[in-house]
């Protein structure tokens, strides 16, 4: 085992996902503690993309037809090959659909510990990973020993800007290993853009289960109209059919980063935060003063959303 930190890059159609740079931001702090290098596993990416990976001391680029599109089987085999080449003390993946597949597969293959839902990692002694559980209500620290180990970081736990460095790290090319080929990539289904593109709006009024019922969404619509905003929602509202899927923010919905995000009656579960944490200014209105949304909010009102919406809409319309 080396003291290196292996970061698994995520990318789609030639562009890195923010998760990659968030992982690099955390890896920079961790590598400073271990004294090792940051090595990036770039599976299926173009070598030209490496110029964005200046935070890394080295990139291992796995190429081949089988890894052009994400496939848990061939990407799993590719990551295994990179792991064997690097022998890292810690492997970091994003807690994303792809990361969940890769981290658990590698943990089982290598018989090494894996901590998921992580928001912090400390390697000053043994490897300690802090996981956020129960919708953000509880943080649990796991001691993963000396390593090797895997941590899956929750998206949004670091600023991607802290990991985005241009440069020319040395690149090692590896051919993708042969697999049984039981899993085949069929096609990429793009997220539907829907009636309103909530990813393009500067202001969003997002409603959660605290709104109570479908008819009550009207108060949010009135506030949104006053602000020239769009109404978005947490997943339970979409599952209940109160808003279309195109309005869902979060892990299984859309990622948004408006200038202003007003969260009405949204608790702030990690799956929701994943989709909106990068918003410029977050204003949360919630009757529960311990709601996790207040941990990411720039402004918080521990009030009933109906009272606030009514007063706010009136005040804006008056102006």
Ligand X SMILES: Cc1cc2nc3c(=O)[nH]c(=O)nc-3n(C[C@H](O)[C@H](O)[C@H](O)COP(=O)(O)OP(=O)(O)OC[C@H]3O[C@@H](n4cnc5c(N)ncnc54)[C@H](O)[C@@H]3O)c2cc1C
Residues near ligand X, by CB under 6 A: 135, 208-210, 234-236, 248-253, 265-267, 269, 271-272, 275, 285-288, 291, 304-306
**Which position's Cβ is nearest ligand X?**
250
Residue 153 C-beta: closest distance to ligand X, Å: 16
The Cα–Cα gap between 199 and 18 comes to 15
CB of 284 to ligand X, least distance (A): 9
Q: Which distant-in-sequence residues (6+ apart) come within 8 Å of 288 by Cβ? A: 267, 302
Q: For ligand X, which is the closer residue by CB, 129 or 269?
A: 269
Closer to ligand X by CB, 158 or 301: give it. Answer: 301
Dihedral sign, Cα of residue 221, residue 224, residue 228, residue 233: negative
**Token digits of residue 283:** 């204003």
Q: Which pair of structure tokens corresponds to residue 187?
A: 């096609």
94: left (phi over 0), alpha (psi -120 to 50) or beta: beta
Of 28 and 235, the one with the shorter C-beta distance to ligand X is 235
Least distance from ligand X to the Cβ atom of residue 250, Å: 2
Which stretches of 66-170 are assigned E, i.e. beta strand?
90-94, 114-122, 128-133, 138-143, 149-153
Report, in Å, the least distance between residue 304 CB and ligand X.
Answer: 4
Return the number of the residue (201 or 247) whose C-beta is nearest ligand X.
247
Centre a 10 Å sphere on the Cβ of residue 178 and count the other Cβ atoms it contains. 10
* Separation of first and last alpha carbons in the chain: 64
Nearer to ligand X, 6 or 219 (CB): 219
Q: State the minimum distance, in angstroms, from the CB of residue 40 to ligand X.
A: 26
3-state SS, residue 143: strand
CB of 239 to ligand X, least distance (A): 9
Q: Which is nearer to ligand X, 106 or 291 (CB)?
A: 291
């Amino acid at each position: 085992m080396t003291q290196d930190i292996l970061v698994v890059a995520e990318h789609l159609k030639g562009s890195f996902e923010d998760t990659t740079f968030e992982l690099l931001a955390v890896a920079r702090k961790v590598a400073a503690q271990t004294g090792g290098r940051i090595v990036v596993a770039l599976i299926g990416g173009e070598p030209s993309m490496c110029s964005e990976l200046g935070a890394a001391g080295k990139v291992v680029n796995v190429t081949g037809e089988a890894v052009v599109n994400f496939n848990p089987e061939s990407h799993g085999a590719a990551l295994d090959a990179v792991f064997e080449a690097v022998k890292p003390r810690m492997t970091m993946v994003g807690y994303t659909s792809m990361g969940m597949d890769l981290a658990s597969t590698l943990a089982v293959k290598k018989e090494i510990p894996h901590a998921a839902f992580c928001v912090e990692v400390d390697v000053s002694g043994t490897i300690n990973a802090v996981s956020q559980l129960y919708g953000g209500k509880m943080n649990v620290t796991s001691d993963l020993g000396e390593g090797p180990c895997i941590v899956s970081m929750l998206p949004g736990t670091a600023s991607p800007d802290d990991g985005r460095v241009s440069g020319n790290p040395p690149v090692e090319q590896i051919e993708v290993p042969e697999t049984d080929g039981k899993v085949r990539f069929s096609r990429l289904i793009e997220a539907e853009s829907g009636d309103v593109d909530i990813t393009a709006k500067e202001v969003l009024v997002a409603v959660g289960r605290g709104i109570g019922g479908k008819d009550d969404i009207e108060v949010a619509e009135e506030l949104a109209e006053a602000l020239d905003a769009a109404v978005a929602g947490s997943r339970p509202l979409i599952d209940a059919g109160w808003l279309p899927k195109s309005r869902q923010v979060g892990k299984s919905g859309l990622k948004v980063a408006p200038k202003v995000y007003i969260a009405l009656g949204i608790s702030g579960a990690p799956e929701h935060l994943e989709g909106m944490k990068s918003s410029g200014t977050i204003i949360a209105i919630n009757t529960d003063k311990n709601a996790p949304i207040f941990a990411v909010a720039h402004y918080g009102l521990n009030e009933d959303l109906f009272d606030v919406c009514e007063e706010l809409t009136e005040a804006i319309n008056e102006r």
